[in-house]
Chain A
Amino acid sequence: MSNTGTEKQTGTPKHPAHNVCWSCKGPVDARALFCDTCNAIQPPGQLDHFTRFGLEPSFIVDIDAIEATYLKQQQLLHPDRFASKSGREQALSSQQAASLNEAFETLKNPVARAHYMMRLSGHEPEGGEGHTVNDPELLMEAMEMREALDDADNRAAVDAIVKDTRQQARACEKDLADAFEKDAFDDAKKLTTRLRYLMKMTEEARAKKSRLAAA
Chain B
Amino acid sequence: MALLQIHEPGETPLPHEDERQIAVGIDLGTTNSVVAISRDEKPEVLRDKSGGNAIVPSVVYYGEDTPVVGEAARDYINTDASRVVSSVKRLMGRGIEDVKSLAGTLPYHVEVPEKSDGDAADQMAEPMMVRLNVGDRVLTPVEVSADILRALRARAEESLEQTVEKAVITVPAYFDDGARTATKDAAKLAGIEVLRLVNEPTAAALAYGLDNGAEGLYAVYDLGGGTFDISLLKMQKGVFQVKATGGDAALGGDDFDHAIAEHLLSKRKDGGATDELDASDAKRLLKVARKVKEGLTDLDTVEVVVDLNGSETSHEVTRSDFEAMIAKLVSRTTAITEQVLDDADVMPEDVKGVVLVGGSTRVPAVRKAVADLFEQEPLSNIDPDEVVALGAALQAEALTGGSDNLLLDVTPLSLGLETMGGIVEKVIDRNTPIPVAKGQEFTTYQDGQSAMMIHVVQGEREMVDQCRSLARFVLTGIPSMAAGAARIRVQFNVDADGLLTVSAREETTGVEQEVAVKPTYGINEMDMANMLRDSMVHAREDMTLRLLTEARVEAKRNILAVHAAMEADRALLTPEDDKNIADAIAKLEATMAGDDRDAINEAAEALETASRPFAESRMDSRIRQALTGQNVDAVN
A94 touches B342 (CB 8 A): no
- A-contact 0/1 string along B233-267, CB 8 Å cutoff: 00011110100000000000000000000000000
B619 touches A85 (CB 8 A): no
B342 touches A207 (CB 8 A): yes
- Expressed in whole angstroms, the minimum distance between the Cβ of A138 and any Cβ of chain B is 24
CA distance A38 to B5 in the complex (A): 10
- Residues of chain B within 8 A (CB-CB) of A20 are 619
A23 interface residue (CB < 8 Å to B): yes
Identify the closest chain B residue to A100 (Cβ). Answer: B433
B536 interface residue (CB < 8 Å to A): no
A82 interface residue (CB < 8 Å to B): yes
Identify the closest chain B residue to A32 (Cβ). Answer: B634
- Expressed in whole angstroms, the minimum distance between the Cβ of A59 and any Cβ of chain B is 21
CA distance A82 to B241 in the complex (A): 19
- Expressed in whole angstroms, the minimum distance between the Cβ of B206 and any Cβ of chain A is 12
> Counting chain B CB atoms within 10 Å of each CB, which of A41, A81, A105, A207 scores highest?
A81
- Residues of chain A within 8 A (CB-CB) of B1 are none
- B-contact 0/1 string along A5-34, CB 8 Å cutoff: 000000000000110110111111101111
CA distance A102 to B633 in the complex (A): 25
CB proximity to B under 8 Å, residues A66-103: 71, 74-89, 94-95, 97-99, 101-102
- Interface residue stretch chosen among B114-122, B130-138, B209-217, B399-407: B399-407
B283 interface residue (CB < 8 Å to A): no
- A-contact 0/1 string along B406-438, CB 8 Å cutoff: 111000000000000000010000001111111
CA distance A104 to B239 in the complex (A): 16
B564 touches A214 (CB 8 A): no
A101 touches B634 (CB 8 A): no
A101 touches B436 (CB 8 A): yes
Identify the closest chain B residue to A23 (Cβ). Answer: B561
B496 touches A24 (CB 8 A): no
- Residues of chain A within 8 A (CB-CB) of B434 are 101
- Expressed in whole angstroms, the minimum distance between the Cβ of A155 and any Cβ of chain B is 12
CB proximity to B under 8 Å, residues A167-189: none
> Are A210 and B342 CB-contacts (below 8 A) given A78-B406, A86-B557?
yes
A154 interface residue (CB < 8 Å to B): no
CA distance A210 to B347 in the complex (A): 12
- Residues of chain B within 8 A (CB-CB) of A206 are 342, 345
B496 touches A97 (CB 8 A): yes
B560 interface residue (CB < 8 Å to A): yes
A104 touches B433 (CB 8 A): yes
B380 interface residue (CB < 8 Å to A): no
- Expressed in whole angstroms, the minimum distance between the Cβ of B202 and any Cβ of chain A is 12
A36 interface residue (CB < 8 Å to B): yes
A58 interface residue (CB < 8 Å to B): no
Identify the closest chain B residue to A129 (Cβ). Answer: B425
A156 interface residue (CB < 8 Å to B): no
Identify the closest chain A residue to B620 (Cβ). Answer: A27
- Interface residue stretch chosen among B9-17, B43-51, B473-481: B9-17
> Are A102 and B437 CB-contacts (below 8 A) given A17-B631, A23-B561, A38-B564?
yes
CA distance A84 to B17 in the complex (A): 13
A101 touches B435 (CB 8 A): yes
Partner of A102 from the list B342, B436, B636 (CB cut-off 8 Å) is B436
- Residues of chain B within 8 A (CB-CB) of A80 are 196, 395, 398-399, 406-407, 496
A83 touches B437 (CB 8 A): no
Partner of B495 from the list A75, A79, A104 (CB cut-off 8 Å) is A79
Identify the closest chain A residue to B558 (Cβ). Answer: A23
- Expressed in whole angstroms, the minimum distance between the Cβ of B350 and any Cβ of chain A is 15
- Residues of chain B within 8 A (CB-CB) of A28 are 634
A40 interface residue (CB < 8 Å to B): yes
CA distance A88 to B557 in the complex (A): 11
> Counting chain A CB atoms within 10 Å of each CB, which of B11, B612, B622, B634 scores highest?
B634
CA distance A129 to B636 in the complex (A): 37
> Are A37 and B564 CB-contacts (below 8 A) given A80-B407, A101-B433?
yes
A39 interface residue (CB < 8 Å to B): yes
Partner of A71 from the list B239, B495, B611 (CB cut-off 8 Å) is B239
- Expressed in whole angstroms, the minimum distance between the Cβ of A104 and any Cβ of chain B is 7
Identify the closest chain B residue to A202 (Cβ). Answer: B345
CA distance A102 to B12 in the complex (A): 25
B351 interface residue (CB < 8 Å to A): no
A213 interface residue (CB < 8 Å to B): yes
B400 touches A98 (CB 8 A): no
CA distance A24 to B495 in the complex (A): 27
Partner of A26 from the list B342, B398, B560, B619 (CB cut-off 8 Å) is B619
- Residues of chain A within 8 A (CB-CB) of B634 are 28-29, 31-32, 36
B626 interface residue (CB < 8 Å to A): yes
A102 touches B438 (CB 8 A): yes
- Expressed in whole angstroms, the minimum distance between the Cβ of B17 and any Cβ of chain A is 14
B553 touches A83 (CB 8 A): no
A54 interface residue (CB < 8 Å to B): yes
B619 touches A214 (CB 8 A): no
- Residues of chain B within 8 A (CB-CB) of A18 are 619, 622-623, 626
CB proximity to A under 8 Å, residues B530-583: 550, 553-554, 557-558, 560-562, 564-565, 568-569
- Residues of chain A within 8 A (CB-CB) of B435 are 79, 94, 97-98, 101
- Residues of chain A within 8 A (CB-CB) of B561 are 21, 23-24, 37-38, 40
B496 touches A87 (CB 8 A): no
B100 interface residue (CB < 8 Å to A): no
A26 touches B633 (CB 8 A): no
B444 interface residue (CB < 8 Å to A): no
CA distance A26 to B437 in the complex (A): 29
Partner of A101 from the list B398, B425, B432 (CB cut-off 8 Å) is B432
- Residues of chain B within 8 A (CB-CB) of A87 are 550
B438 touches A86 (CB 8 A): no
- Residues of chain A within 8 A (CB-CB) of B339 are 210
> Counting chain A CB atoms within 10 Å of each CB, which of B435, B437, B635 scores highest?
B435
CA distance A129 to B423 in the complex (A): 13
- Expressed in whole angstroms, the minimum distance between the Cβ of B413 and any Cβ of chain A is 17
- Expressed in whole angstroms, the minimum distance between the Cβ of B563 and any Cβ of chain A is 8
Partner of A78 from the list B437, B496, B557 (CB cut-off 8 Å) is B496
- B-contact 0/1 string along A100-113, CB 8 Å cutoff: 01101100000000
CB proximity to A under 8 Å, residues B608-636: 608, 611-612, 615, 618-619, 622-623, 626, 631, 633-636
Partner of B10 from the list A41, A54, A209 (CB cut-off 8 Å) is A41
- Expressed in whole angstroms, the minimum distance between the Cβ of A139 and any Cβ of chain B is 22
B493 interface residue (CB < 8 Å to A): yes
B335 touches A84 (CB 8 A): no
- Residues of chain B within 8 A (CB-CB) of A89 are 557
What are the nearest 3 A-B pairs in CB distance?
A76-B10, A25-B615, A29-B634
What residues make up the interface of B, taking CB atoms closer than 8 Å to A? Answer: 7, 9-12, 15, 19, 195-196, 236-239, 241, 331, 335, 338-339, 342, 345, 395, 398-400, 406-408, 425, 432-438, 493, 495-496, 550, 553-554, 557-558, 560-562, 564-565, 568-569, 608, 611-612, 615, 618-619, 622-623, 626, 631, 633-636
Contacts A71-B236, A78-B496 known; list 9 others, CB within 8 Å. A23-B558, A26-B622, A40-B561, A83-B196, A98-B435, A101-B433, A105-B432, A209-B342, A210-B335
11 A-B residue pairs with Cβ-Cβ distance under 8 Å, sorted by A, are: A23-B557, A26-B615, A27-B622, A37-B564, A75-B406, A80-B196, A84-B400, A89-B557, A99-B437, A209-B342, A210-B342
